[in-house]
Structure 1
Amino acid sequence: MASSLNLLHLLLILLTLSSATATFRHRRTASHNYRDALTKSILFFEGQRSGRLPPNQRMTWRRNSGLLDGSAMKVDLVGGYYDAGDNVKFGFPMAFTTTMLSWSVLEFGGMMKSELGNAKTAIRWATDYLLKATAQPDTIYVQVGDANKDHACWERPEDMDTQRTVIKIDRNNPGTDVAAETAAALAAASLVFRKSDPNYSKVLLRRAIRVFAFANKYRGAYSDGLKSYVCPFYCSYSGYQDELLWGAAWLQKATRSPTYLNFIQSNGQTLGVDENDNNFGWDNKHAGAKILLSKAFLLQKVQSLHDYKGHADSFICSLVPGVPSSQTQYTPGGLLFRMDDSNMQYVTSTTFLLVTYAKFLTRSHTVANCGGAIVTARRLRTIAKKQVDYLLGDNPMRMSFMVGYGPRFPERIHHRGSSLPSISAHPAKIDCGSGFNFMHSESPNPNILVGAVVGGPDEHDRYTDERSDYFQTEPATYTNAPLVGTLAYLAHSYGQI
């Protein structure tokens, strides 16, 4: 009798898998234009650019800015991205943004069609800067700008006259977290450019190897030595162990060298792979590393990484409502909720992991085991789609949380460049203090930062469209980066691209 039940259970799994594989090229008409959202989610990065803008700049209300960045230390740190609504270049979230944009392209770039070039351009804008920031051995320039002084002003990037303080890590002041994340970004991007620009790819990979070696040799959290500069903005709350595992995972993928596989096998436990920390984002990479390493086992058949399928299942199962191991809070309207401060960043990063793991499960003809409950790839995609649809307008507020998408979207986002008149509309300088007149105004922002995903609603699905509420109204590059991959998947699945 027991063997008959086991056989029946196996048949049910096989039927579910074949159904999931066959039917997720959707029969239904999509309620959203995922292709339009994809285009806009990538365009957003042009609004965040620092440095000298190219002739084909599409976000035309932006102009050159930060052209002397790095000069205080006699280095060239022009370029890169402003992370959110301010004018500081923080290396830690910029590197994570780069890793996630690259992962989006690696998993779903084949579905992006005409947007693939724009996505690669967005990645290269970051990697060109990260190469500058890591040009000196055992040194990484991890920040340009004094966040406290910058936040005391409300200025366009083009006008900023606050101190462009340059912050670095080195052997004496280590920053394993930001260094290992930078190595991950360079390694992931090297895979993106491997075919289209092999020479650039080699430069990125060589640098990634060197930067990871520095991260591993000189260990310490960067916010220990740089607390007054990086906290509370981008403190490394989770420590650096997650970044070391994540960086090694990306280098293993990029090099296929046994060096990194051995490192992962020897250090996985001490680097916290067993921890149930389910906030995947710029600070904590454990969940991402688990999913990435599970691919090596599921698809490349790296048997020594067998345990990562279980680790990945454990994370994924925590997100699935109704299974025994579920531990994720959802709002009454159905939005995954982690915290008040920019919650949407966790929605987009988690959603990306859901569709990516679903891809691995489908290709390996397997399922997630959630404490005895079987969860299929199709179920994961359904959860992910619901999150994206909520973000794009299927929510109690009946508004999109992506600027410029849909008939109703945030108009007063916490973003200096968007909220102040552009140079073409107001050529005269707007100084540090005068800008607050615009910040406190109730008028909509004059410049639409197309594609920007804001922090989003609270745990009760309430959203206040006020510039001063940066928890809810501030966009960030690391919120958009993982969404790019998910939108490419959905646009392709619904035949829109």
Structure 2
Amino acid sequence: MAAMTLLLIFNLVVVRAHDYGDALSKSILFFEGQRSGKLPSSQRTTWRDDSALRDGFDVGVDLVGGYYDAGDNVKFNFPMAFSTTMLAWGVIEFGKAMGDEDLNHTLEAIRWATDYFLKSSAINNTLYAQVGDPYGDHNCWERPDDMDTLRTSYSVTAQKPGSELAGEMAAALAASSIAFKFYDSSYSTLLLQTASKVFEFGDKYRGSYNDSLGIEVCPFYCDYGGYEDELIWAAGWLLKATKKPYYLNYINKNIHNVQSIDNRGNFAEFGWDTKNAGINVLLSTFQKQIGSSLFVQLADQFICSLLPDSPSKSVSYSPGGMLYKAGVCNMQHVTSISFLLVVYTRYSNNAKRKIQCDGSYISYTRLIRLAKKQVDYMLGSNPMKMSFMVGYGSKFPQKIHHRGSSSPSIHVHPEHISCKEGSMYFNSIQPNMNLLTGAIVGGPDINDKFDDSRANFVQTEPTTYTNAPAVGLLAYFKQRARNQTKGGVIGCNSSRFSCKRIIY
């Protein structure tokens, strides 16, 4: 009996080790700190102010709004669209788990982007890809509120195409239309109509924005994976939103593109650039309609590649247990891959389908635990006992690579700070002046080492595409911690939010 009591106490401690609800609220709040344009009266990140109010004026188009991608002041629409898709996917899967207040704030965060995308796609056969000269911006350390760098508008057209941009933007609009369906039906309809139009443009005029825009997007957000994945990704979201045979036929007709890409090893990749693992997870739910088990097989293969003891492992793990992939901003992989882990586990459970790896079946419990370990690591269960979400826990990064956060608020220092005058704040050894609450930074290296320094942008810069998957992920674990019962948790059906018991 004593042993059983201790076990129950231990389990209780594990469940309550992190406040996922608090982390969820803060992860959503982060997006208010990244807003561009005229800020609303409801703005909660009050050290920010209006910025970039003349975006698009150089081409006679209103392009005010949207998000700054990271610690700079450029609006890169390609990663912004992916961030929006992931926010919407989080609402579709876990909206009910968020609670009314956090759900409303998440829908506001999505709408801040989709309103901007509607402007960016308003002209036929023209899609705006970016606002802001990236070279001028990256040469300055300047608050967005009073920046004076060039706000050049860049677009793709029928003559200079950008299929990856169109595909991801169509996916974002289609996914967002599902997210808004039960809350604002007219807006949902508008988003879906625009998604179809943008997808048709990207598919009809095929080509990479790498070639059309060149050094303006490369090396910042170069598309290294090709645009075929974005077109299939968009078709998948349009199929989910419309159920139209046209998109099912499109997927079947172009399935060979996915096969050829995945044969190069991209089945395990997922992020703002390469969508393959996300495609396979998303389309695994349409196995019967598609008439092929390809996407399920590839999704299983992706899951297998994440298991620490798998011979086909495609990732590394730090001594503290953090999933690691080479490159910049590792936490983007932690959040996006963990999100897919949870979603695919739920999809497989709902379909009563077992996940196979190297000839063996993998338990749902094991996969959920792997995802939870990543979330807990991010929130402070790591060798440094440090949260990598700003404002969460007692110890978190203080000198993040972020212009607005590190500089004095315009409300405190209303005088203009020019391009190079801001360098003193970049070089300061003091903590940032403003708390960018909820920002998830790039995180530690493969050895669990972290250097809290603005100059170390690889580890200390936050991004929208790191935070976006974390929103749905944290909503799931918030619900799981709240409703955990012996042998299972209460899960919610993604289409109508009707709750049912899911056994893990």
Short-chain TM bin: over 0.9
User: 99, 102, 110: which one pairs with 2:88?
Assistant: 102
Is 1:116 aligned with 2:106? no
The aligned residue for residue 280 of structure 2 is 290
Whether the aligned pair in 2 keeps the contact of 1:343 and 1:456 (CA below 8 Å) is: yes
Aligned-partner residue type, residue 79 of structure 2: P
The aligned residue for residue 75 of structure 1 is 61
Partners in 2 of 1:380 and 1:217 — Cα distance?
40
Give SS of 2:154's match.
Answer: strand
Partners in 1 of 2:456 and 2:483 — Cα distance?
35
Measure how far apart 1:276 and its partner are. Answer: 2.4
TM-score (norm 2): 0.91
CA spacing shift, 1:188–1:357, aligned 2, 3 Å: same
The aligned residue for residue 464 of structure 1 is 451
Is 1:409 aligned with 2:399? no
Whether the aligned pair in 2 keeps the contact of 1:34 and 1:496 (CA below 8 Å) is: no
Measure how far apart 1:313 and its partner are. Answer: 0.3
User: 481, 487, 499: which one pairs with 1:494?
Assistant: 481
User: 348, 352, 377: which one pairs with 2:339?
Assistant: 352
Q: Which runs of 5+ in 1 are unaligned?
A: 1-24
TM-score (norm 1): 0.93
Is 1:206 aligned with 2:196? no
After superposition, the C-alpha distances for 1:48-77 in whole angstroms (9 at most, x for unaligned) are 000000001000000000100000000000
- 1:155-166 equivalence runs, <5 A: 155-166=142-153
User: 375, 389, 392: which one pairs with 1:388?
Assistant: 375
Whether the aligned pair in 1 keeps the contact of 2:248 and 2:290 (CA below 8 Å) is: no
After superposition, the C-alpha distances for 1:218-250 in whole angstroms (9 at most, x for unaligned) are 111101121110111000111101111111111
Give SS of 1:426's match.
Answer: coil
CA spacing shift, 1:28–1:304, aligned 2, 3 Å: same
Is 1:241 aligned with 2:231? no
Give SS of 2:405's match.
Answer: helix
Partners in 2 of 1:240 and 1:211 — Cα distance?
14
The aligned residue for residue 271 of structure 2 is 281
Aligned-partner residue type, residue 113 of structure 2: A
User: 361, 364, 372: which one pairs with 2:359?
Assistant: 372
Partners in 1 of 2:280 and 2:149 — Cα distance?
41
CA spacing shift, 1:57–1:305, aligned 2, 3 Å: farther
Measure how far apart 1:496 and its partner are. Answer: 7.7
Measure how far apart 1:194 and its partner are. Answer: 1.0
Partners in 2 of 1:496 and 1:446 — Cα distance?
39
Whether the aligned pair in 1 keeps the contact of 2:199 and 2:234 (CA below 8 Å) is: yes
Measure how far apart 1:285 and its partner are. Answer: 0.4
The aligned residue for residue 113 of structure 2 is 126
Aligned-partner residue type, residue 276 of structure 1: G
- 1:299-338 equivalence runs, <5 A: 301-302=288-289, 304-338=291-325
Measure how far apart 1:27 and its partner are. Answer: 9.5
The aligned residue for residue 237 of structure 2 is 250
Partners in 1 of 2:148 and 2:216 — Cα distance?
18
The aligned residue for residue 270 of structure 1 is 257
Whether the aligned pair in 2 keeps the contact of 1:90 and 1:143 (CA below 8 Å) is: yes
Whether the aligned pair in 2 keeps the contact of 1:281 and 1:346 (CA below 8 Å) is: yes
Number of positions where the alignment pairs a residue of Structure 1 with one of Structure 2: 470
After superposition, the C-alpha distances for 1:401-438 in whole angstroms (9 at most, x for unaligned) are 00000000000000000000001111111111010000
Give SS of 1:410's match.
Answer: coil
Partners in 2 of 1:239 and 1:303 — Cα distance?
23
Whether the aligned pair in 2 keeps the contact of 1:245 and 1:286 (CA below 8 Å) is: no
Aligned-partner residue type, residue 241 of structure 1: E
After superposition, the C-alpha distances for 1:342-387 in whole angstroms (9 at most, x for unaligned) are 0110110000000001111221222210011211221111000000
Aligned identity (percent) is 53
Whether the aligned pair in 1 keeps the contact of 2:252 and 2:290 (CA below 8 Å) is: no
Partners in 1 of 2:230 and 2:73 — Cα distance?
25
CA spacing shift, 1:366–1:28, aligned 2, 3 Å: farther
Aligned-partner residue type, residue 71 of structure 2: G
Any runs of at least 4 consecutive aligned residues in structure 1 with deviations exceeding 3 A, and if so which?
Answer: 25-28
Partners in 2 of 1:184 and 1:311 — Cα distance?
21
Whether the aligned pair in 2 keeps the contact of 1:184 and 1:248 (CA below 8 Å) is: yes
